[in-house]
Amino acid sequence: MTTLQTRHPKAKRGGFIRWFTQVGWKHIVGLVVIVFATFPLVYILSTSLTKMGNIENFTLFRSFYLGNYKDLLTSTDYPFVTWMKNTLILAGATAVISVFISALAAFAFSRLRFKGRRPGLLALILIQMFPSILGLTAVFGILSKLTDYVPAIGLGTKAGLILVYLGGSLGGGTYLMYGFFNTIPKELDEAAKIDGATHTQIFYKIILRLVAPVLAVMALLSFIGTFGDYVLASIVFNTNQQYTVAVGLQSLLADPWTKQWAMFAAGAVMSSLPIIIIFVSLQKYITNGLTGGAVKG
Amino acid sequence: MRKRNKNFELYSGGTPSLRGTLAKIFILGLVDAGVGFVLMILIGKQKYGFAVFFGIVALLVNWIYLRRGGLPAKYLAPGVLLLLAFQVYVVVFSGYISFTNYGSFHNGSYTETLDAIQQAAVEPIEGAAEYEIKVVKAEDGSILFLGLDASNGKVFLGGENYTKHPWREVTAADGLVVDGSGYPTSLSGVTFLTDDQIVNVEPGVTTMKIPLGPNLDTDGFIATADAFFAQQNRFSYVYDEKNRVMTRLSDNKKFIADEKVGFFKNAEDGELLSEVGWQVRVGWKNYAKIFGDKELRGPLTGIIIWTILFAFGSVLSTFILGLALALVFNDQRIRGLKIYRSIFILPYAFPAFLSAYVWRGMLNTQNGFINNTILGFMGDNKIQWFEQQGAARAAVLLVNLWLGFPYMFLICTGALQAIPNDLTEAASIDGASAWKIIRLIKLPLLLVSLAPLLIASFAYNFNNFGAIYLLTGGGPFLDQSLKVTVGATDILITFVYRIAFSGSIGADYGLASAFSVLIFMLIGSISFFSFKRTKGLEELTQ
């Protein structure tokens, strides 16, 4: 006890001051950061509830007007529900398929030994560094060729865009997952093998089950990434029935002086709320999903 | 070798389950059915090259999955195929384009360009007769013009096919009936089309060219803009296919197809026949332009400096805030720790493109929330967030800090928790202060495990298109005197994007591709060498 007191001379004073110097001040820091982190979100929530509907929303929560939500959900010029559906299909399919294909490739890189394994991994990382936004001409070229020959996956189709998204997300996804697979001891594979498991059984029944939470996080991050794509979706889709949420909400802001700011805000709230809830509830696993096991969360 | 053998045994053998085998057969069958369908289309469209290529890929896939062994290929094939099609191809294609003059003025092939020039360059034949026309249909189904020359009351008839329906005068002997003012009302052998029918004529009456003589190129033709009046036109140029020379009829000036620049060009004074040319290979010209063009070099230096500042500043600011928060909140004694953490990561969970729009609205100088509420005490001295260079740059850094600090907070927290407690305890028993523990133990360990992520973050921000494009669009555009549009917050990638897709002097994909190749090499080698210096990729680069 005496050694403890010499290490913390302030501890003697006890009570509030001691609590405050050790822990209490952190609450003040926390509150300041909370304000910084949330005020844009609070602002957009408040704007979605204003009747005026332009960006001139200087006093938060002056009104509680749900009309913007109703307008957006019933509008035919801005078919928000359709946009949500489109986005869910696009981002959902991309997330699930890309995580699965990345996991397949990561398994090969992590567990199997073959010629070109190392250069392959390096190539995966480097190819990701190509500024993909500048590959638009090529992507457009591929899609319009496909439109001529296989219209089902050409311009204006979800399948075509999903393929493009998949191609773009595989490199990074595989690399992250590779790192994470490496943290799973190989002894598990060996034990399963002794029990007579094939490589597919090892892959599906052991590795995939063990990393399931991380797979979920990666799928979610991929979902958010696809959800946020504006540029690709806007060149592939032309009619407002085909729009994604990102392209559609952008079309609401064509003129920032009109009522549509509030509708945009309502759309932003409605489309982001489910993502935020899932994200926060998965946060225990997020660090792993972000860093591929390089950093333990 | 021994290791490989052991590995091979570990993942081979065992009895595949019936369900697995059935699933494999089913999926492969589905894929093959799809391939067959596409092959039929390709063969139907006589694209044999594509069909053969596609067929070989499909055979390869079947071979990979049906043979015994070759396990790595079975796991890698789907990913590799998609990567090749949509990522590797894109890089290779951009590399190829960077050696061409592809752009909005050099969009198509030679023949496409030739057609476009000829179709566009039409001029009326001066002093020639004009006609009031009726659109009629001949017995063989061709669409003809029946034209009244009001100056002399003569009526002419003709169609697009000069041998079948040459432009000729018709009279009462041909069965022509005219009304009191000379307008034709009926003619034997043709039916008059109603307005509705005219609208439905394919490819459209207004694009029809009715030759005045056997050679459309030199003799001129009759065309109409509204299906009521027609005039005699001719092409402004005559094309000589053998020598690839265009001759302008008005002054007989000759323009030779110049494969070096992809334009029709006059040999003597260098005059171009048209701004529109065709795609040709230009060698290193685009790269030379990036390094040599004075108009580009000035703004480019500024842009590169700001790009590095922006990327570096973003990584540094988000890392410092994230690290500080992680250090402060890595403390189980804090009540409500979980709630704090959940709220801190909200900016990261909110879709980034929405954040950009929200911030753009909030930072609006006159009507934004920030100037009017948060900085309301400044009265009329409003900060011109999007109108001044300094303020705009501060704004993008601020927004990027908001967007990025939760990521750093998450990974720093993860890395901190991975540091064994014994280490810090040992240090504190030795009498090290809390600050010393952070500075001498935690920080070095943290940097080792986070260095690869920081490098990746730098690479990401270096090309963080969305953060700039959605917030400021690269603006404000203060210097209007430049030939290329350069904004105060333009980073390399937004600047190049503008060259590629919305250039004020027309899109230049060739130049933009050369830029993307250079950016790719730059950021790739920076990452490669910094990875090499860190532990993160030891296995890959040793």
pTM: 0.79
Tens digit of pLDDT at every position of chain B (542 positions): 444 455 556 777 667 778 878 888 898 999 899 888 888 888 888 888 888 988 999 999 999 988 887 888 889 998 999 888 888 888 898 899 889 888 878 877 888 888 777 777 777 877 777 888 888 888 888 888 888 888 888 888 888 888 888 888 888 888 888 887 778 888 888 888 877 777 776 557 777 888 888 877 777 888 887 778 888 887 777 787 788 888 877 787 888 888 888 888 887 887 887 778 888 888 898 898 888 888 778 888 889 999 999 999 999 999 999 999 999 998 888 888 889 999 999 998 888 888 998 898 889 888 788 888 888 777 777 888 888 999 999 999 999 999 999 999 988 988 888 888 888 888 888 888 888 888 888 888 888 878 878 888 998 899 898 889 989 988 788 877 777 788 899 999 998 888 877 766 677 888 888 988 998 888 888 878 877 776 544 444 43
Q: How far apart are CA B437 and CA B425, in angstroms?
A: 9
| Number of Cβ pairs < 8 A linking chain A and chain B | 310
Q: Which two tokens stand for residue A104?
A: 């397949």
Say whether both B408 and B270 belong to one domain.
no
Closest CA to B461 of B405, B503, B423, B517: B405
B6 falls within a domain = no
- Name the closest residue on chain A to residue B80, using Cα atoms: A105
Question: Out of B334, B374, B452, whose CB is closest to A26?
Answer: B334
Return the closest-CA partner of residue A229 out of B175, B359, B351.
B351
Domain count, chain B: 3
Q: Answer whether B346 sits within 8 Å of A36, measured CB to CB.
A: no
Q: Which residue out of B369, B469, B496, B529 would a mutagenesis test of the A interface target, given it has the greatest number of A Cβ atoms within 10 Å?
A: B369
Q: Which residues of A touch B368 (CB under 8 A)?
A: 55
Record the tokens describing residue B82, joined without a space: 């998609």
| H helical segments located in B383-442 | 389-418, 421-429, 434-436
Q: Is residue B469 part of a domain?
A: yes
Report how far residue B73's alpha carbon sits from residue B64's, in angstroms, rounded to the nearest whole number: 7
Q: Assess if residue B2 is contained within a domain.
A: no
Distances (CA, A) of B446 to B178, B416, B419, B449, B534: 97, 7, 8, 5, 12
Tally of CB atoms within 10 A around B372: 20
Type and span of the H or E element at B130? strand B130-138
- Indicate if B384 and B268 belong to the same structural domain: no
Domains of chain A: 14-65 (no CATH), 72-291 (1.10.3720.10)
Helical (H) or strand (E) element with A42: helix A25-48
Which is more confidently placed, B95 or A67?
B95
Q: Which residues of B touch A33 (CB under 8 A)?
A: 325, 344
For residue B233, tell me if it sits in a domain: yes
- Residue B106 belongs to some domain of the structure: no
Q: Are residues B247 and B298 in the same domain?
A: no
The SS3 call for residue A259 is coil
| Predicted complex ipTM | 0.84
Same domain, B215 and B353: no
Please check whether residue B282 lies inside any domain of the structure. no
Q: Of the residues B47, B65, B97, which one is the last residue of a structural domain?
A: B97
Q: Give pLDDT, residue A55.
A: 63
Is B23 domain-assigned? yes
Residues of A in contact with B344 (CB under 8 A): 33-34, 37
B82 and B221 inside one domain = no
- My answer on whether B93 and B32 are in the same domain is yes
Look up the CATH number of the domain holding residue B72: 1.20.58
Whether B61 and B144 map to the same domain: the answer is: no
Domain with B537 in it: 292-541
Closest residue in chain B to residue A192, using alpha carbons only: B10
With beta carbons under 8 A apart, name residues in chain B contacting A149: 38, 41-42, 45, 47, 50
CATH number at residue B416: 1.10.3720.10
Nearest CA in chain A to B463: A131
Inform me whether the C-beta atom of residue B344 falls under 8 Å from chain A C-beta atoms: yes
- Which residue type sits at B303? I
Strand pairing report for B277-278 and B106-108: parallel
- Residues B47 and B136 grouped into a single domain: no
Alpha helices in B156-256 (DSSP H): 195-199, 216-219
In a domain, B530, yes or no: yes
Alpha-carbon distance of B418 to B411, in angstroms, equals 11
**Residue appearing with tokens 């913007």:** A68
Please tell me which residue of chain B has the smallest CA distance to A114: B72
Question: What DSSP state is assigned to residue A205?
Answer: I
Residues from chain B contacting residue A39 (CB–CB below 8 Å): 374
Count H helices and E strands in chain B, helices first: 22, 17
Q: Does B90 sit within 8 Å of A130, measured CB to CB? A: yes
- Based on the fold, state whether residues B75 and B149 are members of the same structural domain: no
Are both B336 and B447 inside the same structural domain? yes
Residue at which a domain ends, from B97, B127, B156: B97
Q: Could you give the CA distance from residue B317 to residue B146 in angstroms, rounded to a whole number?
A: 77
